[in-house]
Structure 1
């Protein structure tokens, strides 16, 4: 790719993740085009612009923004930032616009890379793990609550020239972004941490307040143990980040280790202006389905294949589905049902 084309990126999905990353890159002078399915959001990005607010940064950028049906031409770099359960449809829509030697970067939660690779091919897929806190507030406005881990890696673990170039790009957003030779370890680590965020979303208290509930320690410990046990059975050794220590949730790890990790996750989230998970916002604010079928259910299914029952995760997924279907109110008492 030429230097000019390195500056040109298509951000497919301009919500909390895509909107935040794209806005920073646009502010830094890169040639960014946003794609989103919400017409009002697309119009706002064009004018008066996409506003990033919160303790990390305050700025507004205007940028080209279009609906999926309006995309034309080809792109060497497409950052896919849609909700996990929309990955397949979005990837099929963007595939005709991906150049033969280009790639799709998955800036998502869940194991979306396998879906993307099945459509555009593994050689045109790069994985990423992000943990910064951001919320889509309204068309044209995103809250960035904190800085956190940003990690990228080739699916085969190689450190390639394009990966190093990508790291340089992402450091224009997050200066501490890193490369990994095992992106799957971070993705599975996020599944363990993410299960606890799904638990928080059952109630009304924020993330830090949920972690601070002493009666919930055994529930969080079980969720973490089930996810980590399945990852290990899959041949993946999860890696930690921002307070989440996978080793503390390994089978046989002492309760004190999990307690320390839970306390560290509370401290980390206490410092963020984003108080509630995106899962909670999906249920309580935006009244839409969550990513449970792409984050929690795949762990359950993989566990079943290895003879690991995952009763905590099964209960959690069932409760989230009940809330999605309007059959269960969101109350803090819901979390108590996860206690073994």
Structure 2
């Protein structure tokens, strides 16, 4: 589509927001970035530096207006929220004064962040999204775009609206394979099943593909995926598959062979990716900060409890991630063996 003159506010210029925002800026859209990292904001706005995207997909630099939340001025109709899940509520409250009366917020996040976002800005002003491309924030002004992946957009009530069509046209300039769906909750719950596996990977040294490929861990993948799928179904949601992850292969009663085939497909998808380790792994062992586990993975067990579904694998995973965050458990591939028992 031809870029228009209406600005797009990217709230959170890290791995997701920085990658998407840079692509849209390069396509001619008037993108405005907001981030809490002052050094990152300064790099983006600096005519001599800018925001650099590197990796096997493409390499380019863009320059764009950028602010920290306290320096931002103005109101925007289109806001893309791209912060970590546990920062959703604070970010939503900070952006609310900058949201136009007829504006909306697109949640480009992992987890069920739409449920938090709609509580602040309202359901009518919230649009859901599922993303599975690979990117990492490396340092101020630099993001690694490691690999393409699925991108799905959807209204929370499943409607096909003018703004949904508008967003699809815009984001297809970043990911040509982007689609819209009346079942956005199915994709978000599908990502929880796959995401639980990525949180487990983050406990050890091996990268995503190598970790998933460990045959002795297949029972663990079946338990984690199975708990997420069972709870989603109890919620009345049909979890959707993507990039090798097949929810049906982890559903109650599914065969071991079906799970093995899905895991093999996930390994094949991740193997060529320049981003070898999950963002959770980077949070734990590179940036040494809290992860999104309480917002992304713990809700599986919380919703499960409402339906009388025990989630021992998910509960143990959440506890183990907290031990790593607190410095009480070192990084080790043996952590996954312990978790699989």
User: If the length of structure 2 is used for normalisation, what is the TM-score?
Assistant: 0.98
Q: How far does the alpha carbon of each residue in 1:317-336 deviate from its partner, in whole angstroms, 9 at most, with x for none? A: 00000000111001000000
Matched, 1:38 2:37: yes
For residues 24-56 of structure 1, the C-alpha deviation after alignment (integer angstroms, 9 at most, x for no partner) is: 000011000000001110011112100000011
Aligned to 2:334: 333
Shift in Å at residue 67 of structure 1? 0.3
Distance in 2 (alpha carbons) for counterparts of 1:14 and 1:142: 9
Q: Does 1:182 align with 2:167?
A: no
Query: Once superposed, which parts of structure 1, at least 4 consecutive aligned residues long, lie more than 6 Å away?
Result: 3-6
Change (3 A) 1:20 1:311: same
CA distance in 1, matches of 2:250, 2:244: 12
Q: CA RMSD in A?
A: 1.0
Q: How many Å separate the matches in 1 of 2:97 and 2:147?
A: 35
In structure 2, the partner of 1:173 is 174
2:240 aligned residue: 239
Q: Secondary structure at the match of 2:106?
A: strand
In structure 2, the residue corresponding to 1:70 is in which secondary structure?
coil
TM score, norm. by length of structure 1: 0.98
Distance 2:296 2:116 in 1: 13
Structure 1: stretches of 5+ with no match in the other structure: none
Cα deviation, residue 339, structure 1: 1.5
Question: Post-superposition shift, 1:133?
Answer: 0.3
In the alignment, the residues of structure 2 paired with residue 202 and residue 144 of structure 1 have an alpha-carbon distance, to the nearest angstrom, of 23
2:56 corresponds to 1:52: no
Provide the rounded CA distance (Å) in 2 between the counterparts of 1:6 and 1:328: 51
SS of 1:11's equivalent in the other structure is strand
For the pair 1:302 / 2:309, whether they are aligned, the reply is no
Q: Partners in 1 of 2:215 and 2:73 — Cα distance?
A: 53
Cα gap change, 1:156/1:123 in structure 2, threshold over 3 Å: closer, same or farther? same
**Contact in 2 for aligned 1:104/1:125 (Cα 8 Å):** yes
Which consecutive unaligned segments of at least 5 residues does structure 2 have?
none
User: What SS does the aligned partner of 2:110 have?
Assistant: coil
2: CA distance, partners of 1:257 / 1:55: 32
In structure 2, the partner of 1:107 is: 108
**Shift, 1:4, TM fit:** 8.2
Q: Note the 1:1-340 alignment, pairs <5 A.
A: 7-47=6-46, 48-340=49-341
Instruction: Give the secondary structure class of the aligned counterpart of 2:89.
Output: helix
Task: Describe the SS at the equivalent of 1:237.
Answer: coil
- Determine the C-alpha separation between the residues in 1 that align with 2:207 and 2:76: 39
Aligned residues: 338
Asked if structure 1 preserves the Cα contact closer than 8 Å seen for 2:3 and 2:27, the reply is: no
